[in-house]
């Protein structure tokens, strides 16, 4: 199974290295990824999360809250949207037959509009809670403006499923091969999930999405930058579950070499897996210059 790693528009939060752990100055904005996967399967292309989409780039103020536009300042570049990167890889957007969403936050679901023919899979509690728009923060993070394809959504009960690598209620998805699994990871949102992809035999990629934000959280002695620790606290829906799932992910990452655990927003993890700089779009092998060479993003900073 072939997997492509896509950074579908970086976010640039206030706080510099207090957020990402690597930006030189505190006065600079940091750099985080929106790490999505494009998986070539027998059922067509499967997109795991979408990042931001074309409509977000064209008119961000109509789609994303002022609060988050100011806080994370996305680096809106059309060539970094999932649809444009998929085209650069030589595929048609219609080849994307399924989208698997970890959760409905604005930076994970903004590209849904770009794939109106795809079936979208998520946990039912995620859809139901996002639709309720209960709190001020819910209305900032869950953006109905991005949900034009909701008639194509297929939802799953979080109470069903089997055990997998220390996690329970893990499910296969309708119409997709058994090599893709949805793993409930409640905490960041009530219906938050990770997506596991069996790539070659015993080897798995496990996209833990926003269950953690910084690679140091998977170390034997876990640590996180102050800014990302605060950001996770600000957005969490179930603190106990969030820390419990982080512990399980950490134990899995440390004990099981056959499973590669990564999150959505850590630049170090993205560049290690994608083998290119975070601000370089995916492209077919042999096209363009060496993507692992440092390059300037649209705001003039080095990724």
Least reliable range by pLDDT among 82-91, 113-122, 236-245, 284-293: 284-293
pLDDT of residue 233: 98
The sign of the torsion formed by the CA atoms of 291, 292, 296, 298 equals positive
Domain 2-274 annotated CATH 3.60.15.10 = yes
- Find tokens 């999405």 and name the residue: 209
The pair of structure tokens assigned to 111 is: 């590209």
Per-residue model confidence as pLDDT tens digits over 54-80: 999 999 999 999 999 999 999 999 999
1: pLDDT confidence band, cut at 50, 70 and 90? confident
pTM above 0.85, yes or no: yes
| Element holding 16 (H helix, E strand) | none
Least reliable range by pLDDT among 20-24, 48-52, 61-65: 20-24
Distance CA 280, CA 115 (A): 22
Distance CA 52, CA 65 (A): 13
Q: Where are the domains of the chain?
A: 2-274
Distance CA 52, CA 55 (A): 8
Per-residue model confidence as pLDDT tens digits over 227-266: 999 999 999 999 999 999 999 999 999 999 999 999 999 9
Grouping H, G, I as helix, E, B as strand and the rest as coil, residue 66 is: helix
Q: Is the pLDDT of residue 27 over 90?
A: no
- Please tell me which residue, 256 or 201, carries the higher pLDDT value: 256
Contacts of 256 (CB under 8 A, 6+ apart): 165
Distance CA 140, CA 67 (A): 7
Beta bridge pairs of residue 123: 156
């Amino acid at each position: 199974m072939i997997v492509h790693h896509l950074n579908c528009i970086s976010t640039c939060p206030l706080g510099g290295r207090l957020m990402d752990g690597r930006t030189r100055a505190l006065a600079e904005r940091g750099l985080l990824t929106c790490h999505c996967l494009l998986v070539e399967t027998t059922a067509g292309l499967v997109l795991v999360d979408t990042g931001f989409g074309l409509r977000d780039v064209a008119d961000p103020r109509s789609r994303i809250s002022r609060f988050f536009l100011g806080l994370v300042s996305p680096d809106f570049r059309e060539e970094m949207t999932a649809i444009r990167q998929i085209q650069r890889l030589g595929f048609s957007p219609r080849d994307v037959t399924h989208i698997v969403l970890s959760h409905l936050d604005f930076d994970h679901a903004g590209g849904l509009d770009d794939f109106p023919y795809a079936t979208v899979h998520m946990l039912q509690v995620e859809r139901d809670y996002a639709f309720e728009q209960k709190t001020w923060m819910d209305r900032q993070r869950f953006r109905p403006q991005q949900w034009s394809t909701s008639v194509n959504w297929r939802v799953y009960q979080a109470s069903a499923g089997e055990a997998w690598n220390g996690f329970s209620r893990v499910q296969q998805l309708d119409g997709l091969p058994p090599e893709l699994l949805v793993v409930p990871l409640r905490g960041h949102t009530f219906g938050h999930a990770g997506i596991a992809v069996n790539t070659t035999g015993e080897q798995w990629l496990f996209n833990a999405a926003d269950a953690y934000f910084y690679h140091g959280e998977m170390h034997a002695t876990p640590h996180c930058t102050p800014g990302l620790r605060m950001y996770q606290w600000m957005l969490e829906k179930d603190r106990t579950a969030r820390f419990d799932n982080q512990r399980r992910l950490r134990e899995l990452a440390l004990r099981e070499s056959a499973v590669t655990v990564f999150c959505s927003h850590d630049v170090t993890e993205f560049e290690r897996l994608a083998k290119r700089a975070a601000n370089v779009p995916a492209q077919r092998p042999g096209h363009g210059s060496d993507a692992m060479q440092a390059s300037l993003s649209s705001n003039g900073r080095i990724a």
